[in-house]
Chains A and B, each alone.
Chain A
Amino acid sequence: MTDVTQIQTTTMPMRKFRIRWSDVGDHLVLILGSLFMLVPLLIVLQTTTTTDVATIKNGPELVIGDQFGVNFDKAMFEASGFSGENTGMSMLKNSLILGLGFALGKIAIGMMAAYALVYFRLRFATFAFWLIFTTLLLPLEVRILPSYEIAQKLGLLNSYSGLIVPLIASATATFFFRQFFRSVPEELVEAARIDGAGPVKFFIDILVPLSQTMIAAMFIIMFVFGWNQYLWPTMITTEEHMYTLVRGIKQITQDLEGTNIPEYGRANMLALIAILPPVLVVIFFQSWFVKGLTESDK
Chain B
Amino acid sequence: MKRAGFTTRWLPILLLLPQLIIIAIFFYWPAAHAVQSSFYLQDPFGFGSTFVGLDNYTDLAGSGEYLKIARFTLVFTILVTFFSLALALLLAVKADKVLRGARSYRTLLMWVYAVAPPVAGFIGLIMFDQSWGPLTELARSIGWDFKLGVNFNDTAIAMVIVSVWKQVPVNFIFFLSGLQSIPKAVREAALIDNRSASGRFWEVTFPLLAPTGFFLLIINITYALFDTFGIVDTLVKGEPGNNPMTLVYKVYVDGFRGNDLGGSSAQSVVLMVLVLALTIFQFRLVERRIHYT
Residues of B near A290 (CB, < 8 A) are 110, 173, 177
- Given A4-B192, A189-B4, is A200 in contact with B34 using a C-beta cutoff of 8 Å? no
Mark the stretch among A65-73, A76-84, A109-117, A210-218 that contacts chain B: A109-117
Does B165 lie within 8 Å of A34, measured CB to CB?
Answer: no
Main SS at interface, chain B: helix
Q: Mark B168-193, 1 if CB is under 8 A from A, else 0.
A: 11100110010000000000000010
Does B79 reach chain A (CB closer than 8 Å)? no
Q: In the complex, which residues 107-166 of chain B have their Cβ closer than 8 Å to any Cβ of chain A?
A: 107-119, 121-123, 125-127, 129, 131-134, 137, 165
Main SS at interface, chain A: helix
Nearest-Cβ distance from residue B225 to partner chain A, whole angstroms: 8
Residues of A near B91 (CB, < 8 A) are 29-30, 33
Residues of A near B11 (CB, < 8 A) are 116, 120, 199-200
Does A43 lie within 8 Å of B126, measured CB to CB?
Answer: yes
Q: How large is the interface on B (under 10, 10 to 19, 20 to 34, 35 or more residues)?
A: 35 or more
- Given A22-B197, A120-B12, A169-B19, is A230 in contact with B229 using a C-beta cutoff of 8 Å? yes
Tally of A interface residues using CB under 8 Å: 102
Does B46 reach chain A (CB closer than 8 Å)? no
- Given A120-B5, A174-B19, A286-B107, is A144 in contact with B237 using a C-beta cutoff of 8 Å? no
Does A279 reach chain B (CB closer than 8 Å)? yes
Does B272 lie within 8 Å of A142, measured CB to CB?
Answer: yes
Does B27 reach chain A (CB closer than 8 Å)? yes
- Given A146-B34, A249-B118, is A37 in contact with B12 using a C-beta cutoff of 8 Å? no
Q: Which of B4, B33, B90, B237 contacts A146 (CB 8 A)?
A: B33
Residues of B near A169 (CB, < 8 A) are 19, 22-23, 26-27
Q: Which of B27, B137, B234, B251 contacts A135 (CB 8 A)?
A: B27
**A120 nearest in chain B by CB position:** B12
Q: Which of B28, B94, B107, B117 contacts A283 (CB 8 A)?
A: B107
Residues of A near B101 (CB, < 8 A) are 27, 30
Does A143 reach chain B (CB closer than 8 Å)? yes
Chain A to chain B: the 10 pairs with minimum beta-carbon distance, closest first: A146-B30, A228-B116, A59-B132, A116-B12, A278-B114, A120-B12, A116-B15, A146-B33, A34-B108, A169-B22
